[in-house]
Amino acid sequence: MTTAPGMRDLAHRLLTYEAGAGEASEPAESPTLRVYEKLRQSLGEFVGVAGFHSLASRALALAKPEAPSLNTAQVSGDGALQGLSEIEAQIDLNKDPIDEEGIILIARLLGLLRIFLGEALTLSLLRNVWPGEAFDDRNAGNGRKA
């Protein structure tokens, strides 16, 4: 089972945004970790630490078959992602800071959010974390942003 194309696109947009935002601030942290941590903070307030831990653990389990390099990654009790830094150290981040493993992991997490919270609430939560970003471009044809 692969990630849904819509979730992959959304994950890629978030990672691209964070890759650009991170250039000036803190280049040591990968875009994947920045997106993950922002989701953890925002969703932790909404679903609690245990709820986020469950979602993140399931997302990681779903992502591992598609990205076997994630096998060493783990979700800690507080929901933090551990082991991703070691994986990304093996990837040449100077070449492209957005790696396929990160896209897969974030897409899986977003997909679970959409399943459990619904599309509207998921997009609303994302807009709270990344204000000003267009997460739903279905209305782009009529000149409006959702």
Kindly give the confidence (pLDDT) of every residue in the chain, 146 residues in length, as a single tens digit, with 9 standing for 90 and above. Answer: 566 778 999 999 999 888 887 655 455 678 899 999 999 999 988 889 999 999 999 999 999 999 998 999 999 999 999 987 665 555 554 455 678 899 999 999 999 999 998 999 998 999 999 987 655 554 333 333 33
Rounded Cα distance, 128 and 105, in Å: 21
What is residue 30's predicted lDDT score, i.e. its pLDDT?
Answer: 85
CA distance 18 to 13: 9
pLDDT at 138: 45
Q: What pLDDT score does 98 carry?
A: 77
Give yes or no for a contact between 124 and 146, defined as CB atoms under 8 angstroms apart: no
Q: Say which residue the tokens 């998921």 belong to.
A: 122
pLDDT, residue 1, reads: 55
pLDDT score recorded for residue 97 = 61
Give the C-alpha separation, 53 to 80, whole Å: 8
Question: What distance in Å separates the CA atoms of residue 67 and residue 89, rounded to the nearest whole number?
Answer: 16
Cα gap 145→139, rounded to integer Å: 6
